[in-house]
Structure 1
Amino acid sequence: MHILTLALDGAWKVLLAGLVLGAGLPVVFAFGIRALAHGHNAEGRPHDAGVLPVPRSLGRPVAVVCFAIVLAAVGLGITYIVASGLGQQLSFEHIYPTLVPKK
């Protein structure tokens, strides 16, 4: 029974990491694209009336935040891969991630 508990404990952690990194980052990126595309017309006519949509003022900052989150996650992933290749590890002891020699 103890082995089953350990296996399920590890399985939910892997599932959570897969959802956050595997499906979560593309969802955040898609939300950023959607925020950029969200617009309205100055005259209130439908979009197919030949009037280009004017982007809403909140769409661009939301998109920038979404893209920054995705870029930070990609940067951390690349840093983790490079650190392991150089014989170091990624440490989060401070506010920002640092590379420290493996112990």
Structure 2
Amino acid sequence: MNQLALALSGAWKVLLVSLVLGAGLPLVFAAGIRSLAWGTGGEAEVDTSARPHPLGRVLAGLCFAVVLAGIAIGITIVVASGFGKAVSFEHIYPTLVAK
């Protein structure tokens, strides 16, 4: 019974991370695409009469920056584990520490 409890305690963490990274980053990317379309002055279709919205471009840039940061942190974690390092989130920003 103890083995099952240990397996389930780790499974919910894996499920949470997979939902955040598996569905969260594509959702933020899609929001960035929509913001970029709004920032250029229209929806997804071509519209020459709409005015551009600078806030849409700023929001799109922020969304894309979040996605790129998530990808960079993921690659850093994988590469660091190959070199015998671990990523520590003790501070606000992630740092590489020895295992």
In the superposition, the TM-score normalised over structure 1's length comes to 0.76
Partner of residue 84, structure 2:
87
| Aligned twin of 1:19 | 19
Which consecutive unaligned segments of at least 5 residues does structure 2 have? Answer: none
Give the letter aligned to residue 20 of structure 1. Answer: V
Q: Distance in 2 between matches of 1:10 and 1:94?
A: 23
Q: Is 1:37–1:55's contact at 8 Å kept on the other side of the alignment?
A: no
Q: Alpha-carbon deviations, 1:7-36, whole Å to 9, x = none?
A: 443333222111100011001001000000
Q: Secondary structure at the match of 2:54?
A: coil
SS of the residue corresponding to residue 55 of structure 1 reads coil
1:1-103 map, 5 Å = 3-38=3-38, 39-40=41-42, 51=48, 53-102=50-99
Within 1, Cα distance between the matches of 2:9 and 2:89?
23
Superposed displacement of residue 52, structure 1:
5.0
Q: Secondary structure of 2:91's partner?
A: coil
Structure 1 position 4, deviation (Å): 4.8
Deviations along 1:14-63, whole A, 9 cap, x unmatched? 221111000110010010000000135xxxxxx77x72543212101111
Number of aligned positions between the proteins: 95
Q: Which 4+ residue blocks in structure 1 deviate beyond 6 angstroms?
A: none
